């Protein structure tokens, strides 16, 4: 994963977290009597989703890089 791919994945992960926070505050928080518990659960869900997205993108980029490297090796071996 190069810098621009990491930056893009990280920025989208932050946007996912912010989206979870806004969605939670608009639609779900009113169902909780204990607002402290609501905030804790909201943050936990937002962080888990953001980190899961970033790790998924990182693994996808690693898989794509490995496939490209294997293709290049195969092409170089054909040439010899």
Q: What is the pTM of this model?
A: 0.88
Q: Per-residue pLDDT for 79 more than 90?
A: no
Q: How many other CB atoms are found less than 10 A from the CB of residue 53?
A: 18
Q: pLDDT, tens digit, for every residue of 24-57?
A: 999 999 999 999 999 999 999 999 999 999 999 9
Residue 6 half-sphere exposure toward CB, CA atoms < 13 A: 4
Q: Which two tokens stand for residue 73?
A: 């090796």
């Amino acid at each position: 994963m190069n810098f621009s791919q990491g930056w893009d994945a990280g920025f989208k992960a932050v946007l996912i977290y912010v989206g979870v926070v806004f969605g939670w505050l608009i639609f779900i928080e009113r169902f909780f009597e204990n607002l402290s518990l609501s905030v804790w659960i909201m943050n936990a869900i937002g962080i888990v989703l953001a980190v899961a997205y970033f790790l998924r993108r990182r693994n996808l980029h690693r898989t794509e890089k490995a496939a490209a490297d294997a293709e290049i090796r195969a092409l170089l071996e054909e040439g010899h």
